[in-house]
Amino acid sequence: MKICAILRLVPDLVEEIEVEENEIIPFRYMPNERDEHAVEEAIILKEKTGAEVEVIGIADSENEADLDEGLGMAAAKGADKLYKVVLDRPTYKRCEIAKALADFLSDKNYDLILTGIQAIDSYAGNLGGILARYMDLPYIGGVVEVNVSNGNTIVKKELGGGLLAEYKLPLPAVVSVVSAERPLKFVPFTKLRQAMKKANIEEVELELPEIEGVEVLKYEVPPEPEITLIEGDVEEVADKLIEALKELSIL
Amino acid sequence: MKVLVFGEVVDGTIQNITYELVACAKKLGEYLTLVTSDADVSSIDGRVIKVNAGETNPWHYKIVEKVIERENPDLILFGNTSSSVDIASQLSAKLPVATSVYEVSAENGEVIVKSLSYGGKIIVELKLTTPAIAVVNVGSYNAEDGKGTASVEEIEIDELGVRDGIEFLGYIKPEEEDVDISKAEVVVSVGRGIGDETNIEMAEELAELLGGVVAGSRPIIDQGWLPKTRQVGRSGKTVTGKLYLALGISGATEHVEGVKAKNVIAVNTDKTAPIFRVSRLGIVADVNELLPTLVDKIREIKEG
Amino acid sequence: MDVEEMLETYFERINEIPNSDKFIQCIQCGTCGGSCPYGMGTLFTPRRMILAVRAGIVDEVLQSGAQWLCTSCFTCSLRCPSQIPITDAVIPALRELSLLEGNPPEELAAALMNITRYGNSFRESPRKRDRWIKEVDFEVPLISKKKKAEYLFITECFGAYHRRCKEITKAFAKLMDLLGTDYAILGNEERCIGDLVRLCGEFGLFEDLAEKNIRVFEKYEFSKIVTHDAHAYNALLREYPRFGFKKEVVHHTQFLYNNLEKLKEMFGKLDYTVTYHDSCYVGRRNGIYEEPRAVIKAIPGVKFVEMKRIKENALCCGGGGGGVWLDSFIKDHIKERPAESRVKEAASVGADVLVTACTLDVPMFEDALKVTGLEGQLEVKDISEIILEAIENS
């Protein structure tokens, strides 16, 4: 079995993001958390089934350096092969990325393509489903567990409120992961640095197709909310909160 | 503008998001709803096409494609929920799409939407050429406005000539029947800012004093500090009661989507925390410091 | 890793740490376990950890989680008749195995990950490390502007970001300001000094932090480092020289003692009964016992009382050695946190104020006040805070 997991970068929200009307300028990028879970699930499947795991990192010329940590992390956890896909320009359109990726993946013969269910910057599409259609493969998202036995692939999908559903999936397929079966494995610094040094990363440049239909009119910071903000010492604010609870006749 | 709503069914029940989407569609022009599983659709306002294709399944996008061919809508609305996104995202290989949308409008035959992105920190305004797809956040429109009397047309799945690809095996329901936080009037909800597990007990005590229940954000559930049934947000439940008291919750978009209580009061150390954007009262304080004092004071009031 | 690999990795690490050859001299006396604040919480006390390593069952120790039940208080190391470096070697090397296995307690894993990514455990922007200087009414000089200073003041992460600990940073900076000290801070160029990282067994990250910090130190001209963070003091004093850092390091208790004559002239009267908590890395580890006592006793009106467990026998606050990131893990294994026992002890000797000299202590003890119901009866203050109060009362 051959699996790949897709690892994208998203702006690091711990740092300030500059917002202008026609662009946003993040200070730096970090791996998309849901994609990290997709990588983790791929590693779990490797442990369960001995599958071969390849991780495909996606960046563009502006943020490619920020991808190394995520790829190194994947290598340290046991990924067999790493790709660094550098797109020829940044894009917010998931369909453009999916189209380019679909061409790139078409001859790789993966049984399972894993991706994170979403990213903080996915306002123009979710990658997994679009990719599946361009590759003409079955697709399911919202997955929290993948099991492969006797040629059957059974996934658990999260429906909210603690409710799950099980589906049987024909392979090859594309699966979007919400969270891996276990918490992300910790990788100590030395192991990460060694993995980053040793990692065999194949760099690929991909040309993005232009797909029309979606256009950003503007970016803006949400207006300051109409809210009463209370600051002060604990005693004071506790009293004010109690007053508010009384007003709502909860107390 | 003609709008097609994808009606969501989970475990045989039409989900509330369906009515919210109908409410949105109504404001834009002509509308109809497609439901692909067996459920009671009689309260959906307006035209309803019902195709009984079994439990909601990602391959149902093929049914939507057929109905798009037949009805030629300008806009197709989906809920930003686990099963609807499966379908919306596959259709968006062919049609322009906007996700995490909270406001939809039509202008000169084009669709304009607003999306709350980057963890709720940035609004993105997008223009889509029609036909287009908008994936709308739960709670963006009032469900009551989408309720009414349905005029239902049933189509046999065989007539559409589409086949199954993925097999639905069954639901796995939460092990214990727990309190339903979506129905509680008062929800005391804890997030990462609560610090450590021992503070959950104090939050429970506060909830009890206020006649409510304890819930939490994803990190708290992931840590195993509260059961999955207590999760608020996109992958959890939506709270709709009188008060949502958010303690140490930053308010990521996925979380805020599940917060539809009439009043939100938030406590957070970070003045710029997005949770304050949906609150009527914000308290800038450390939950760990505030909670013991608050519990003591309320206990005194209750006992006195 | 299989057990063989674990043992090999373990001894490779141990052998790099000074005095670890004493490991073989363990006489299994049990002094360590008897001295340990968490000794009752686990089967694998330090003595039995060593025994398990000898018996080749190190994997069983890791499975028990005992390696995380250590607050690096140094009591076992100080009392060990064979002088085995338990705190600096035996336990961190076990923790390293746990980290290599990839499954440390989650709270701790997140803290280490944050330090790797942001240079602080708080998941805060490194570009906000100097924000506290905007919250004071005097100018705090940045070394990047001043270029040269006698003292470089290291605030460390807690002192820069933690809401309560920032107040200690501000108080100490104010004292230096009042004393006319020639000092400066690194501001956003400072990153985690890393003593807790080292004690948690993340040796690779510690080395990286030390090397990066030293590279920043080398950019500027200063003669001494002063810090109110006991762990930063310890690492700069004892660990950084290995990486080539050779400057004098002063703890803020020593600095205050050295300036006591000048401070005395400014003191007003304080009507408190005060007791002093010997923080592990000020007292037991680094032998600073008398300076803070002399400073506190010099405040007019203060009645000084001692607790029972003092100086080398002082009880730990529980925050060291990564304890601040292990609270829920530790709480699963013990009935009463050490900080809770400690504040009760302070109250029992009639103190109104518990004075400490380590930034970690203050939030640990203040939390304990809430749990024990002593809030309102006992206050916790850093030594710089009580001194500033005495001055402001004049």
* B57-76 pLDDT per residue, tens: 999 999 999 999 999 999 99
Identify all chain B residues contacting C107, using CB atoms and an 8 Å cutoff.
Answer: 196
pLDDT tens for C46-60 read: 999 999 999 999 999
Could you report the predicted ipTM of this complex, rounded to two decimals? 0.91
**Ranges of H-type helices in C36-104:** 46-54, 58-64, 75-79, 91-101
Here the CATH number for the domain that contains residue B33 is: 3.40.50.620
Q: Please, what's the largest Cα pairwise distance for chain A?
A: 66
Q: Give the mean pLDDT of chain A.
A: 94
Is the same domain home to B190 and B144?
A: no
For the stretch C306-344, pLDDT in tens is: 999 999 999 999 999 999 888 778 877 888 889 999 999
* Residue A232 in domain: no
Nearest CB among C102, C104, C118 relative to A14 is that of C118
Nearest to C204 among A14, A30, A190 (CB): A190
Which pLDDT does position B177 carry in this prediction? 66
How close, in Å, is residue A141 to chain B by CA atoms?
6
CB contact under 8 A, C100 and A191: yes
Sorted by where each begins, the domain ranges of chain C are: 3-103, 108-257, 265-392
Assign 3-state DSSP to chain C and report helix, strand, coil percentages, each to 5.
Answer: 55, 10, 35
Say if the Cβ atoms of C127 and A16 lie within 8 Å: yes
pLDDT of residue C371: 73
Q: Above 80 in pLDDT, residue A162?
A: no
Percent of chain C past pLDDT 70, that is, above it, reads: 100
Total number of domains constituting chain B: 2
Tell me the pLDDT tens digit for each residue of C116-169.
999 999 889 999 999 999 999 999 999 999 999 999 999 999 999 988 899 999
Chain B nearest-CA distance from C129, in A, is: 15
Domain count, chain A: 1
CA-CA distance, A160 to A168, in Å (whole number)? 20
Asked whether residue B186 falls in the same domain as residue B94, the answer is: no
Calpha distance C383→C292 (Å, rounded): 8
Which range in A219-228, B216-225, C15-24 is most confidently predicted, on average pLDDT?
A: C15-24
How high is the pLDDT of residue C284? 97
Instruction: Tell me which fold the domain C265-392 belongs to.
Output: Rossmann fold (3.40.50)
In a domain, B51, yes or no: yes
Q: Which CATH number does C3-103 carry?
A: 1.10.1060
Assigned domain for B88 exists? yes
Between residues 100 and 119 of chain C, which touch chain B (CB distance below 8 Å)? 106-107
> Does the pLDDT of residue B223 top 70, yes or no?
yes
pLDDT of B176: 64
Are the beta carbons of B126 and A168 separated by less than 8 Å? no
Point out the least confidently predicted range of B79-93, C154-168, C263-277, C357-371.
Answer: C357-371
Residue B16 lies in a domain: yes
Could you say which residues from 113 to 142 on chain B have a Cβ atom under 8 Å away from some Cβ of chain C?
A: none
CATH number at residue A152: 3.40.50.620
Chosen domain end from B131, B160, B189: B160
**Structural domain of A123:** 2-217
Identify the closest residue of chain A to C205 by CA–CA distance. Answer: A189
**Is it the case that residue A106 has pLDDT exceeding 70?**
yes
List the helix and strand counts (H, then E) for chain B: 8, 17
Give all chains having 3 or more CB-to-CB distances under 8 Å with chain A: B, C
pLDDT tens figures, A183-202: 899 999 999 999 999 988 99
Average pLDDT along chain C: 95
Residues B150 and B215 both lie in one domain? no
Task: Write out the residues of chain A at the interface with chain C, using a CB-CB cutoff of 8 A.
Answer: 14-16, 27, 30, 77, 183, 185-193
Residue B20 lies in a domain: yes
Chain B hits for A248, Cβ within 8 Å: 242-243, 263
Inter-chain CB proximity C331 and B288 less than 8 Å: no
- Are A170 and B90 in contact (CB < 8 Å)? no
Calculate mean pLDDT across residues B206-228. Answer: 88
Tell me which chain C residues have a C-beta less than 8 angstroms from the C-beta of B195. 327
Residue B74 sits in which domain range?
2-160
In a domain, B175, yes or no: no
Q: Which of A27, A185, A189 is facing C205, going by the closest CB pair?
A: A189
Structural contact between residues C158 and C165, judged by C-beta atoms closer than 8 angstroms: yes
Query: CA torsion, points A205, A210, A214, A216, in degrees to nearest 10?
Result: 60
Nearest by CB to residue A158, choosing from B82, B98, B116, is B82
Helix intervals (H) in B73-170 = 82-91, 157-160
CATH, range C108-257: 3.40.50.1860
Q: Are B95 and B64 in contact (CB under 8 A)?
A: no
Nearest to A162 among B167, B228, B277 (CB): B228
- Do residue B15 and residue B132 come from a single domain? yes
Nearest by CB to residue B197, choosing from C328, C367, C375, is: C328
pLDDT at A225: 64
- Topology alike, domains C3-103 and C108-257: no
Which range (B19-33, C12-26, C168-182) has the least confidence?
Answer: C12-26
Q: How far is CA C290 from CA B264, C253, C353, in A?
A: 53, 10, 18
Same domain, B109 and B35: yes
